[in-house]
Amino acid sequence: MEGLSHITLITRDLARMSAIIEGALGGREIYSSGDDTFSLSREKFFDVGGLWIAVMEGESLATRTYNHVAFKIPASAIEDYRQRIEALGLEFRESRPRVEGEGHSLYFYDDDNHLFELHTGTLEERLERYRQGRNP
């Protein structure tokens, strides 16, 4: 295993999903198939923080779940990202209860029921905090 190659998300509206990836996540479009498809349907590729995100036209997810994709953001930028998400009219999901020291998160749904998390912490910080137990 060399690492994560890419994430593919299915959307009923490529233009709207492009606005969400560029606006909320700061992604940069690097490919658009137009009508010349090589895969299952029309698609676009984005670079989001060095990660390849592919979006393809198709049916939205039927329901919302806690399955999600989390992106790392600096703590100093959390309010900027909150404003970006609000400007796109996206629905926030309440963050799960957290213990101090494991970072902060913004959760939001896109129009196709995908859940995204913008998180300020790292795995190392979370593990260190969990080692301390519930009441350090």
The residue written with tokens 């020291």 in the block is 101
Secondary structure (3-state) at 66: coil
Sequence-ordered list of residues with C-beta below 8 angstroms from that of 26, at least 6 positions apart, any chain:
48, 49
DSSP annotation of 12: S
**Contact predicate 115/108, CB 8 Å:** yes
Q: Which of 29, 43, 79, 124 is catalytic?
A: 43
Q: Is 43 in the active site? A: yes
As annotated, the active-site residues are 43
